[in-house]
Homo-oligomer: A and B are copies of this chain.
Amino acid sequence: MNTKRDLEIRVMMAARENNISSILFRNSIRSRVGLNITDSECLSFLSIKGVLTPKDISHYTGLTTGSTTAMLDRLENAQFIRRKPNPDDRRGALIEIHEKWIETSRPLVVGLQKEQAELIASYSDAELEIIADFLTRFTDNVKKYTEMIEQDLI
């Protein structure tokens, strides 16, 4: 059937556009705040993952440990992150977001967050179940293939 395939393509395109738009959104913020791409990516990871080790961060960003140290120095100087001792491993540190970054970014993101919350609230429970389920499965696939590429299985 033709209509069906059109619909499937529409969903695929919408998912891609969504990802691109989120990159452009963050680019607009980092241009405003004066951050480079890697520093901004680091803050994004921290804001969704919570506390991370420098090792985690260098893995996620794809930077070497050397440039991760330098990046964390920059972000710490700007008071956008904080280094804490790692209670489980005295060699390592834990990185968390500093309130100053929250305060700096809040005015730029709060309006969008509110609109997205309103958009979501406009759907019924049944619809939200479908959406959440789809997004989760879609993301799980992405994670699975990321893992495969990292482990040289592809």
Interface residues of A (CB under 8 A from B): 3-4, 7-8, 10-12, 14-25, 27-32, 37-38, 41, 44-45, 48-49, 60-62, 107-108, 111-112, 115-117, 119-121, 123, 125, 127-132, 134-139, 141-143, 145-146, 148-150, 154
Is the pair B145, A112 in contact by a Cβ cutoff of 8 Å?
Answer: yes
Is the pair B8, A117 in contact by a Cβ cutoff of 8 Å?
Answer: yes
User: How far apart are the CA atoms of A146 and B32 in the complex, in Å?
Assistant: 11
Q: Which residues of B contact A123 (CB under 8 A)?
A: 130, 134
Q: Which residues of B contact A149 (CB under 8 A)?
A: 25, 28-29, 32, 108
Is the pair B37, A146 in contact by a Cβ cutoff of 8 Å?
Answer: no
User: How far apart are the CA atoms of A22 and B146 in the complex, in Å?
Assistant: 9
**Residue in A37, A135, A137 whose Cβ sees the most chain B Cβ within 10 Å:** A135
CB of A131 to closest CB in B, whole Å: 5
What are 17 A-B residue pairs whose CB atoms fall within 8 Å in the complex?
Answer: A3-B125, A11-B132, A12-B117, A15-B135, A17-B48, A18-B18, A18-B139, A19-B22, A20-B44, A21-B142, A24-B60, A25-B142, A27-B60, A27-B61, A28-B149, A111-B145, A115-B145
